[in-house]
Amino acid sequence: MKTIRIATRKSALALWQAEYVKAELLRHHPGLTVELVPMSTQGDKILDTPLAKIGGKGLFVKELEQAMLEGRADIAVHSMKDVPVEFPDGLMLHTICPRENPQDAFVSNQFKSIDELPPGAVVGTSSLRRQCQLKALRPDLTVRDLRGNVNTRLAKLDNGEYAAIILAAAGLIRLGFEQRIAALMPVDTSLPANGQGAVGIECRSDDKEVQQLLSALEHRETRICVLAERAMNRKLQGGCQVPIGAYAVIENDTLWLRGLVGALDGSEIIRHQLRGPVAEAEQLGVALAEHLLSQGADRILQDVYQAAP
């Protein structure tokens, strides 16, 4: 009987996602055995430094990939948002599962939306993308870094350190905290990160048996959208810690991709959107990136990378 071992981080969200893939695999292939192989990654160990300052792509995936390459695990389950654009030799992103709500969520114990926040209110977010959009929307707010997994972030809000925090709705919903969402941020106000809300499955490139089993979990529409978003990000050479937003939907058989690159202080955000055939998802992503670069994104990104260590 075939056994599939899933390499996973130990955070509540990572474990939820691994359990989700396990349950889906068993639902489609009842004879299978599926085991979780939990492990700590570098990103989990460095919790006191703002993510943007640690730098380095794939901080949360390297250990998982090593385990697959060494045969200690067969697949790894990732939030697509955290998956680097390139994969190491011998590994591939095989499956993209259906997307959860891709929006950012406004969470507060006192205020129902951003508009209600008083001048100068302290808002926590760990992402430069959210930070720059927030500052563009409300220059008066004080944006503070907010690290840690979903539970930690909620605890910091409850401690009174922040008037509100912004994080991905998907993580809250998956962990059963949907009722804590005071407001979903419209995508045009807080354009999500590429891949936000989608779960991807990585495996060894030559492991046809596992790939065959994974195919049942694939969601075509999500793949097309995430491919377009990632192509845009790749062309901009952005990891997940740069102020880049990318969000695609399919409407009337047409792919609609929105993108932005923001200056860190919110003083400038370059936005653009394109529509194109679903069969040309990656070309659309590249074309949108090229447009953003030609409109000044190249200069902004240079500033961002120079600010990094």
Ligand X SMILES: NCc1[nH]cc(CCC(=O)O)c1CC(=O)O
- From the list 58, 84, 124, 171, which residue makes contact with ligand X (rule: CB under 6 A)? 171
How many amino acids of this chain bind ligand X (CB under 6 A)? 9
- HSE on the CB side for 22, CA within 13 Å? 17
User: Does 167 engage in binding with ligand X (CB under 6 A)?
Assistant: yes
Length in residues, the chain: 309
User: Does 101 engage in binding with ligand X (CB under 6 A)?
Assistant: no
Which CB sits closer to ligand X, 34 or 168? 168
User: Does 170 engage in binding with ligand X (CB under 6 A)?
Assistant: yes
Q: Which of 101, 80, 226 is nearest to 174 (CA)?
A: 101
Q: Judged by CB under 6 A, which stretch of 63-71, 74-82, 115-123, 248-256 contacts ligand X?
A: 74-82
Q: 119, exposed or middle or buried, with CB in 10 Å at 0-12, 13-18, 19+?
A: exposed
User: Does 79 engage in binding with ligand X (CB under 6 A)?
Assistant: yes
User: Does 242 engage in binding with ligand X (CB under 6 A)?
Assistant: no
Q: Specify the amino acid at residue 307.
A: A
Minimum CB–partner distance for residue 201 and ligand X (Å): 13
30, two tokens: 């009842």
Which CB sits closer to ligand X, 9 or 204? 9
User: CA 261, CA 273: separation in Å to the nearest integer?
Assistant: 12
Q: Is 89 a catalytic residue?
A: no
Q: Judged by CB under 6 A, which stretch of 168-176, 215-223, 262-270, 272-280 contacts ligand X?
A: 168-176
Burial 51-89 (b: 16+ CB within 10 A, else e): bbeeeebbbbbbbbbebbeeeebbbbbbbbbbbbbeebe
Within 8 A by CB and 6+ apart from 176, the residues are: none
User: Does 196 engage in binding with ligand X (CB under 6 A)?
Assistant: yes
User: Does 180 engage in binding with ligand X (CB under 6 A)?
Assistant: no
Which is catalytic among the residues 44, 48, 74, 82? 82
Q: Judged by CB under 6 A, which stretch of 66-74, 109-117, 163-171, 175-183 contacts ligand X?
A: 163-171
User: Does 197 engage in binding with ligand X (CB under 6 A)?
Assistant: yes
User: Which one-letter DSSP state was computed for residue 74?
Assistant: S
Which CB sits closer to ligand X, 43 or 259? 43
Q: How far is CA 205 from CA 26, 60, 217, 281, in A?
A: 22, 20, 17, 23
User: Does 82 engage in binding with ligand X (CB under 6 A)?
Assistant: yes
User: Does 243 engage in binding with ligand X (CB under 6 A)?
Assistant: no
Q: 309, exposed or middle or buried, with CB in 10 Å at 0-12, 13-18, 19+?
A: exposed
Which CB sits closer to ligand X, 172 or 236? 172
User: Does 81 engage in binding with ligand X (CB under 6 A)?
Assistant: yes
Q: Specify the amino acid at residue 247.
A: Y
Could you list the active site residues? 82
Contact residues toward ligand X (CB under 6 A) are 79, 81-82, 167-168, 170-171, 196-197
